[in-house]
Amino acid sequence: MQNSKTTTAKSTIAMSALLLSVAMLAAGCHKTDENANAGMGPAQSAGKAVDDAGANAAAATREGAAKTEAAAEHAGDKAQDAAQRAGDNMNAAAEQSKEAAKDTGANVKEGAHEAGQNIKEGASNVTDAAGRGLEKAGQKMQDASK
């Protein structure tokens, strides 16, 4: 038979061991931020790493696609603006050419009118000179016949 002192000592030791075990389990179940993967096995850690890499790649892809779309839209706007400016410049150049052609036509008309006047004046001078020459010749013929 066991005496009561031995039973009490055994109970105290068993209780202490039980409390120590519970404390160790509680401490072991608590995961800190620094060691969040400590309770995971190698396969779980590898799976988490793959999942994290996939999530990061998807986020980077979405960000890259958004930047590419924004750049393409910006380039399209710039091209449209450039085409509009080119069209405006072509219209302005056509208008200037039209005005220059009108001015040139007016200058040609004025020059032709002046040339026509000069031709008339020259013909009149030739006619006058020819008439004077004929008069002199006629005078000489009359003087010679006397």
Structure tokens at 115: 């040339």
pLDDT tens-digit map of 117-126: 888 887 777 7
- How far is residue 109's CA from residue 125's CA, in Å, rounded to a whole number? 24
- How far is residue 45's CA from residue 47's CA, in Å, rounded to a whole number? 5
Question: Is 39 in contact with 31 (CB distance < 8 Å)?
Answer: yes
- How far is residue 26's CA from residue 20's CA, in Å, rounded to a whole number? 10
Residue 42 confidence (pLDDT): 83
Asked if residue 136 has pLDDT above 70, the reply is: yes
Residue 33 confidence (pLDDT): 47
Question: Is 75 in contact with 82 (CB distance < 8 Å)?
Answer: no
For residues 81-96, average pLDDT: 90
Structure tokens at 39: 């309770």
- How far is residue 103's CA from residue 111's CA, in Å, rounded to a whole number? 12
- How far is residue 93's CA from residue 99's CA, in Å, rounded to a whole number? 10
E-only strand ranges, 83-125: none
Asked if residue 8 has pLDDT above 60, the reply is: yes
pLDDT tens-digit map of 13-70: 766 766 666 666 655 544 444 555 567 788 888 888 888 888 888 888 989 889 999 9
